[in-house]
Structure 1
Amino acid sequence: MTIKPLSDRVVIKMEEAEETTKSGIVLAGSAKEKPQVATVLAVGPGGLVDGKEVQMTVKVGDKVITSKYSGTEVKVDGEEVIIVRQSDILAVVE
């Protein structure tokens, strides 16, 4: 099954949380920070959103930073993805 986002929506997959710190300390599950970097899997067409014309600036394959706890989590073929508005994407990682 594939997801085709509508309007200004973007489908992203979050990167895995760090298991260890830079100094090598292994983190417990509750101590891991929720990741904010994700990979763009699909992009909607943009268009008219709330009376304003929206052009999509991200593309499939981009690494992006999103707002914490934004979007709607969906399970597709056993894989967790998140559908967010383009406005919830803060930056593109280069």
Structure 2
Amino acid sequence: MKFRPLHDRVLVKRLEGEEKTKGGIIIPDTAKEKPMEGKVVSVGPGARGEDGKLIPLDVKKGDKILFGKWSGTEVKMDGDELLIMKESDIMGIIE
């Protein structure tokens, strides 16, 4: 399925969390926190400014990002769990 976000929205795939602690303790799935890092899968064209001009997004497909713990809306597409969020929910790009 193809999906293209509208306006200033971004489609993100969460990156997998750690399986073990630094001390070597294995964390069960039920105790893991959802990671706050992800990879941008698709981006919208941008938001419209007050003058009607299109303002492009700062993120692009393939960027590794950091976002808030409760950011976005979870969706399932083709068996993958993804997030749709506004660009303003993204805290930064990991380089």
CA positional deviation for 1:34: 1.7
| One-letter amino acid matched to 1:4 | R
The residue number in structure 2 matching 1:44 is 44
Once the two structures are overlaid, the 10-residue window that deviates more, 23-32 or 51-60, is 51-60
Aligned-pair identity (%): 47
Give CA deviations for 1:38-85 in whole Å, capped at 9, x if unaligned. 000000000316x48643000000000011111111111111110000
CA RMSD of aligned residues (A): 1.6
Once the two structures are overlaid, the 10-residue window that deviates more, 66-75 or 21-30, is 21-30
Helix, strand or coil at the partner of 2:88 = helix
CA positional deviation for 1:33: 2.0
| One-letter amino acid matched to 2:90 | I
Mapped to 1, the partners of 2:28 and 2:78 lie a distance apart of 28
The residue number in structure 1 matching 2:14 is 14
Mapped to 1, the partners of 2:77 and 2:28 lie a distance apart of 27
> Mind listing any 5+ residue stretches in structure 2 that lack a counterpart?
none
Mapped to 2, the partners of 1:47 and 1:70 lie a distance apart of 19
Mapped to 2, the partners of 1:61 and 1:24 lie a distance apart of 31
Give CA deviations for 1:8-49 in whole Å, capped at 9, x if unaligned. 000000011211011211012232122000000000000316
Q: Where has structure 1 moved over 6 Å in runs of 4 or more?
A: none
| One-letter amino acid matched to 1:76 | M
Once the two structures are overlaid, the 10-residue window that deviates more, 63-72 or 24-33, is 24-33
1:5 aligns with 2:12: no
Within 5 A, what are the aligned runs for 1:1-94? 1-48=1-48, 51=50, 54-94=55-95
> Mind listing any 5+ residue stretches in structure 1 that lack a counterpart?
none
| One-letter amino acid matched to 1:58 | V
The total of aligned residue pairs comes to: 93
